[in-house]
């Protein structure tokens, strides 16, 4: 399936987008179309950190079920706003547990459908080899970098975790002048890739992808330095009658999906 720029009707994203980033509204890549006789679409709003694992899982899911996953990616906070405004999403894969719970409370999601599909891991990463040491001591040496990138903590749980790390080490006020914020973890990663920031807090999954050599240097942040990044999935009200949406959530708990999730560096949280 070819990608195309997003179109809008009534201020809402059109349904047949392949992969759409809410920030910048830029189409990325399609996941293919299932045969017409068995095809059903499930539109998934997904936190930016989980796009690559979801693409792999979606491919497996399509092969197993014939259903096609349509992906809309962005910061969890922005995705919530889109859903509350009536965006036609069937499933949310959030970067936290609070947003799915809030959607259920607000009657935008199905009661009892939320579950933790992954435990996120944070990394301090630089595209420059040797800049980031194994213990993250470079953070206390601001003369070695001009900019530190992190996701907006008001929108992105990984950004909140990064702020907790800086607070835990007593470095936030000292590093405040160096901080540049991305709208989501994908934009934060791009700041570091482009060299606009010498280092940044990103999702471990962005530097530990299966079959891809990791460039630069990184520190896998100990989970003791921040609250657990519990990432919950939920069936949205729009998808309550969509069998493909329910099938995807069930598939997300399968051994095959859990293996994919672990391969990208996430903690396995599903039963």
Per residue in 78-106, pLDDT tens?
A: 999 999 999 999 999 999 999 999 999 99
Structural contact between residues 78 and 157, judged by C-beta atoms closer than 8 angstroms: no
Query: Length of the chain, please?
Result: 271
pLDDT band at 140 (very low <50, low <70, confident <90, very high): very high
Compute, in degrees rounded to 10, the torsion defined by CA atoms 147, 157, 86, 16.
70
Phi, psi of 43 (to 5 degrees): -95, 120
Q: Is the pLDDT of residue 7 over 70?
A: no
- Where does residue 51 rank: exposed (0-12), middle (13-18), buried (19+ CB within 10 A)? buried
- Percent over 70 (pLDDT), the chain: 85
Amino acid 269: pLDDT:
74
pLDDT in tens, 154-169: 989 999 999 999 999 9
CA distances 57 to 189, 254, 255, Å, are 22, 10, 11
What is the model's pLDDT at position 22? 47
Q: What is the pLDDT of residue 65?
A: 95
13-20 average pLDDT score: 40
Q: pLDDT class for 39, splitting at 50, 70, 90?
A: low
Read off the pLDDT band of 271 (50, 70, 90).
low
Does position 33 have pLDDT exceeding 70, yes or no? no
């Amino acid at each position: 399936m070819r990608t195309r720029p997003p179109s809008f009707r009534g201020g809402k994203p059109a349904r047949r987008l392949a992969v759409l980033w809410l920030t910048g509204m830029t189409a990325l890549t399609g996941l293919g179309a299932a045969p017409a006789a068995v095809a059903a679409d499930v539109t998934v709003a997904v936190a930016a950190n989980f796009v690559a694992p979801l693409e792999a899982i979606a491919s497996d899911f399509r092969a197993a079920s014939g259903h096609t996953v349509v992906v809309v990616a962005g910061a969890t906070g922005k995705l919530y706003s889109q859903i509350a405004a009536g965006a036609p999403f069937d499933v949310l894969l959030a970067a936290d547990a609070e947003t799915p719970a809030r959607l259920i409370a607000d009657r935008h999601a199905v009661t009892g459908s939320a579950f933790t599909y992954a435990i996120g891991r944070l990394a301090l990463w630089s595209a420059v080899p040797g800049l980031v040491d194994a213990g993250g001591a470079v953070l206390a040496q601001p003369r070695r970098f001009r900019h530190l990138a992190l996701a907006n903590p008001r929108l992105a749980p990984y950004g909140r975790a990064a702020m907790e790390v800086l607070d835990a080490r007593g470095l936030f006020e000292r590093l405040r002048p160096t901080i540049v914020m991305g709208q989501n973890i994908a934009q934060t990663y791009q700041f570091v890739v482009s060299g606009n920031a010498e280092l940044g807090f990103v999702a471990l999954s962005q530097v530990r992808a299966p079959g891809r050599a990791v460039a630069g240097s990184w520190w896998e942040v100990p989970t003791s330095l921040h609250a657990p990044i519990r990432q919950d999935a939920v069936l949205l009200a729009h998808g309550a009658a969509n069998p493909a949406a329910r099938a995807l959530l069930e598939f997300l708990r399968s051994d095959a999906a859990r293996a994919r999730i672990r391969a990208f560096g996430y903690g396995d949280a599903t039963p």
